[in-house]
Structure 1
Amino acid sequence: MTDTSKSLPTYKQLLERKDAPPGSSWGLFGKDDQVGTLNLIDNAARLRGIASAVEGKAFSLDLPSTSIYPSLAPTRKPITHHIFQRNDFHHDEWLDNFYTQYGSQIDGLRHIGHPEYGFYNGYDHTQFKPGTDTLSIHHFAALPIATRGVLIDVQRYMAKAGLDLDQASGQAISAQVLEAARVSQGVTIEPGDAVIIRFGWLDYYLNRASEEARTNLVTEQFHPGLEQSEKTLAWLWDNRISIIAADNFALECWPAKPESPFFTPAEVRHEACSVHAGIMHRAIIPLLGMPIGELWAIDALAEACAADGRYTFMLTAAPLPIVGGVGSPANAIAIR
């Protein structure tokens, strides 16, 4: 482990904190920190990533801009692309309705706050304006994000184990299943690794779901994903993961299960209602400071990993350096 990761408390110890919100990493990377668990990407993590690229074959992990239609989120619209010419031998362009978290994306630390404690490191969300610095996505771009990647293919593991994985439901995948999939692949997770989870949902959405099912996803979003639980958070934190990504809409199962511990008391009493009620994003992003990748196109990468049993690679992601940005297209590449 690196010096930074060695000095960090366990998740159980995070829950016992009195100097910051329980279960939070606030202040552990510095009181003015802007990038959360991406701090775990150090020279050693990058060198491990480089060493994992043994073939030189590269995989783009981004969907084409037209792949998700209609939108999976009613507040996000597909881009409108305009091309213009100044003469017959010139082209330029602009985009309208460019929602940075529409397709293959990275959720930055401005994206979600905790309903009681607020945003990562206690920053004042009223500072989150276009062009302002605090928790802006451009800090991710400046790092940059380049580390060893680890793929955990939950769908393939569950199929081989004879376990059902219903892509059209909100099935919760426990940390126990996630860990069993990792062990079955014979892969370890090192501090600073980027971990990508394959549920097989994008393959279902793009290739097997009916047109009616795709349309219904706009209003009835159900997909499998990580179980909302403190055991899941402990798995993410104690493995010292820098960024967690998946091939579904929200990483965690959607919608949140009734037994989720992340409902507010008012939501439990049905005195408050929110599309985000009970979701684990409220702990992963603002408390742990861990960025989330969603809708990453990893099927081709997973095929290659399954073919030779090697589940590590060099991973780069290049968020747009938008000052004041909340999120960004992932612009992620894996090199094996």
Structure 2
Amino acid sequence: MTAGAFRALYEELRERCPRAPEDRRGALGHLTAERVVAAAAEVRSGRTVSLAAPIETLSGPDNPEPARHRMIAPAEGETGESGGDGLHFARDRFAMNVHGDADSHLDALCHVLFDGELYNGVPASSVTSEGAGALSVEVVRNGIVGRGVLLDVPRLRGVPWLEPGEHVTAADLTAAEAAQGVRVLPGDLLFVRVGHRPRRQERGAWNAAQARAGLHPTAVRFLAERQVAALGSDGNDDTAPSAVAGVDFPVHVLAVHAMGLHLMDYLQFEELTRACAREGRWSFLCVVAPLRLPSSTGSPVNPIAVL
């Protein structure tokens, strides 16, 4: 995709998704109270499924800055056969790089700086070393609750996973809808499976920053046409290498910056895929509850599908 074609697509999506100057919620505006109420009707079996992968604390080719987990209590002498005298507490400390290539996380609307701006013309200078002054993950402090839809592209193509570098197109998304008997509706939370996790488990980790499957930039038109409220993938949502010269993360630019879509990266769909196939349906109630980090550009996330 040429730089000119990408720029034209960027402007097209901005015009297709107009927002009031003061808007800070972006595509979540499609997720009305009425649509949340309707999403509750998706619950039939009452089964709950996590869409997150376990947080990893070991370094690897896709995780050079792993999360750090350290026990700070109990101290020596507070455990043992007798359990120590009196009351004691086990305590620990946790730190992570939110936007890595291994752990499940949500991108806030302040995550993408493009042409000196954030989403909806907010100055990029509002993000400093002290944190984000606008569009932080605090925007979704009340959670994201709605109808989730899983589109399984490897299932459509008859393969266990897409190979790094392969693109998901708008035609793939439409074909997956037809094959699975589901349709993405306005206000839905769309989850696109590329099979990143099972490939990683079977073949081992690789440098996902340089090679991964994801959406082609033109597939973002599908998201705009259907008025999707949020997007998640078991990859990064973006393909690597990029389809656009000079723009490493075109889907992030189009989705977050142009359309105001919160993204969820590196989720895990294997249990959900099995549950959906078993129940013969690919839509569900979904609850996304990021941590309340008032000036953060994102958060670890554990979306829950309720079938």
Mapping for residues 156-235 of structure 1, pairs under 5 Å: 156-159=155-158, 167-206=162-201, 208-210=202-204, 214=205, 216-217=206-207, 221-229=210-218, 232-235=219-222
CA drift at 1:29: 3.6
CA contact (8 A) 1:165 1:171 kept: no
TM-score (norm. length: structure 1):
0.78
- Cα deviation for residue 48 of structure 1 reads 2.2
Q: Using the alignment, how far apart are the partners of 1:86 and 1:222 within structure 2?
A: 42
Structure 1 vs Structure 2: percent identity of aligned residues?
23
Given that residues 227 and 252 in structure 1 are in contact (C-alpha distance below 8 angstroms), is that contact kept between their aligned partners in structure 2? yes
Partner of 1:104: 104
Give the direction of change, closer, same or farther, for the CA distance of 1:68–1:113 in structure 2 (3 Å limit): farther
TM-score by length of 2: 0.85
Preserved contact between residue 139 and residue 321 of structure 1 (Cα < 8 Å): no
Q: Write the letter of the residue equivalent to 2:120.
A: N
Q: Once superposed, what is the RMSD of the aligned Cα atoms?
A: 2.5
Aligned to 2:274: 303
Q: Give structure 1 regions of 4+ aligned residues with deviation exceeding 4 angstroms.
A: none
Q: 1:84 to 1:166 in 2, by over 3 A?
A: closer
Superposition deviation, residue 118 in structure 1: 2.5
What is the match of residue 291 of structure 2? 320
Q: 1:84 aligns with which of 72, 85, 89?
A: 72
| Equivalent residue letter for 1:134 | A
Report the CA distance between 1:69 and its aligned residue: 4.5
Whole-angstrom CA distance in 1 between matches of 2:126 and 2:166? 37
Give unmatched runs, 5+ long, in structure 1. 1-14, 268-275
Query: Displacement of 1:252 after TM fit?
Result: 2.4
Q: CA-to-partner distance for each residue in 1:158-177, whole Å, 9 max, x for gaps? A: 10xxxx67644301121111
Q: Alpha carbons of 1:123 and 1:247: their partners in 2 closer, same or farther (altered >3 Å)?
A: same
Q: Alignment partner of 1:23: what SS?
A: helix
In the alignment, the residues of structure 2 paired with residue 59 and residue 44 of structure 1 have an alpha-carbon distance, to the nearest angstrom, of 24
* Superposition pairs of residues 13-32 of structure 1, within 5 angstroms: 21-24=11-14, 28-32=18-22
1:61 matched to 2:60: no
- Aligned amino acid, residue 134 of structure 2: T
1:38–1:119 distance in 2 versus 1, CA, 3 Å: same
Instruction: Give the structure 2 partner of residue 237 of structure 1.
Output: 224
Deviations 1:115-155 (A, max 9, x none): x363101111111133554111111123x210010111111
What residue is the counterpart of 1:270 in the other structure?
A: none
Per mean C-alpha deviation after superposition, the further-off stretch among 131-140 and 283-292 is: 131-140
Shift, 1:73, TM fit: 5.8
What amino acid maps onto 1:137 in structure 2? V
Task: Measure the CA separation in 2 of the matches of 1:37 and 1:301.
Answer: 24
Q: Secondary structure at the match of 1:121?
A: helix
CA distance in 2, matches of 1:166, 1:320: 31
Q: Which runs of 5+ in 2 are unaligned?
A: 1-7, 79-87
In the TM superposition, what is the alpha-carbon distance from 1:22 to its structure 2 partner? 4.5
**How many Å separate the matches in 2 of 1:154 and 1:16?**
23
Give the conservation status (yes or no) of the 8 Å contact 2:187–2:229: yes
Residue aligned with 1:70, SS = coil
Equivalent in the alignment of 2:4: none
Cα 1:122–1:310 change in 2 (3 A) is same
